[in-house]
Amino acid sequence: MAKPVKVDELTTFCQLVLRGFGADAETARDCTDSMMHGSIHGVDSHGVRLLGHYARGLKGGRLNKTPQIQFKRTRAGTGLLDGDNAQGARATYAAIDHACTLAGEAGIGAVGITRSSHFGPAGAYALRAAQRGMLALVTCNSDSFVRLHDGAERFHGTNPISVACPAPGNPWLLDMATSAVPFNRVELYRSTGTPLPDGVASDENGTDVTDPNLSAMLAPLGGMFGFKGAALGGVAELFSAVLTGMKLSPDIDPMGGPDFSTPRGMGAFVAVLDPAAFAGAELVQAGITRYLELLRTSPAQQGRTVMAPGDREWAVALERRKNGISLDPVTADSFSELARALNLKPVV
């Protein structure tokens, strides 16, 4: 690992790179914010390691450098946001802004996102709504990578679901793939030569394997109860693709190319709820406070700790905001190349 880079320095570098590849100011800002959400909170799979990927999409034409985002309110509580092939964070932060406005008026606001692209960490968007005192649900689908329950081909994407609820201090924040593990976990096991846990990956025939080198697809969450995980992946399809008229996972071009010139036509979905339209902000605050207190003081198994969703992430964020973020070697190399290509001061 290279020497840790300060959060501010990394943020500036990401923005300069994206601007250097022609992204407008809003795209550079939002794309950077989403990656920094990942890197700050220890969700490194969706952190700044994606910078080179997004730069390639901007350069190739997959991503519109200067998207004209269009929001159409369809009813009091709903709308459609046409991303104009923007980088996914640009479209999704805009959708969250509109959904918060709708929720402030109609009590709940749901926005279907069309013509978007890979949006990185779902939790970044749900968190933004929670920071404004709202509950949020965010989901998207993605290119096929996860088999169905009893299935033998890549079908759903890792299709994340994120839910956030405002709380004193840090929000309650769930951001989960509907597969058992993300694929980068498999890659980690490969690089360390460690066998995988049971029931997380399968070979080309859908047979579960523990040899990470034989792993050709991920298993849905739940092991022998994987019909639940597969159905949750389906929930992401219904809200992100079916409701918006966008592409189903098996129809989405692979994230990794080789085609980096064609927009991917991805959907996504955000919903935001205003506590004031339900029990009221004070009662909701009292409820989440008691819930988190009961949860965090609940007896743990010997040698274990019980945590609320997000607690691990807030701890990592505290440390990384103080000490900086260490880049893995592949990302560090990619950053050096990007700096050279754009004649920027290197951060590593």
Pick left, alpha or beta for residue 109 (phi over 0 → left; psi -120 to 50 → alpha; otherwise beta).
beta
Smallest distance, its own copies to C-beta of residue 194, A: 14
Determine the distance from the C-alpha atom of residue 180 to the mean position of all C-alpha atoms in its chain, rounded to a whole number.
16
Nearer to its own copies, 86 or 271 (CB): 271
In angstroms, the CA 196 to CA 25 distance is 42
Specify the residue, 138 or 339, whose C-beta has the smaller distance to its own copies: 138
Q: At its nearest, how many Å lie between its own copies and the CB of residue 306?
A: 5
In single-letter form, the type of residue at position 88 comes to G
Cβ 348 to its own copies shortest distance, Å: 32
Give DSSP secondary structure letters for 228-290. Answer: HHHHHHHHHHIIIIITTT---GGGSPPTT-S--SS---EEEEEEEE-GGGTT-HHHHHHHHHH
Residue among 286, 311, 316 nearest 297 (CA): 311
Instruction: Report, in Å, the least distance between residue 153 CB and its own copies.
Output: 5
Of the two residues 20 and 107, which places its CB atom closer to its own copies in the complex? 107
Tell me the closest approach of the beta carbon of residue 67 to its own copies, in angstroms. Answer: 20
Measured between alpha carbons, how far is 111 from 20 in angstroms, rounded to an integer? 31
Closer to its own copies by CB, 279 or 342: give it. Answer: 279
Burial profile 62-88: b = 16 or more Cβ within 10 angstroms, e = fewer: bbbbebebeeebeeebbbbbbbbbbbb
Interior/surface letters 132-151, b for 16+ CB within 10 angstroms, e for the rest: bbbbbbbbbbbbbbbbbbeb
- Which residue lies nearer to its own copies by CB, 38 or 267? 267
- CB-nearer residue toward its own copies: 74 or 261: 74
The single-letter code of the amino acid at 305 is: T
Closer residue to its own copies, CB minimum distance, 187 or 337: 187
Distance between CA 217 and CA 13 in Å, rounded?
34
Least Å from the CB of residue 71 to its own copies: 13
Report, in Å, the least distance between residue 110 CB and its own copies. 5
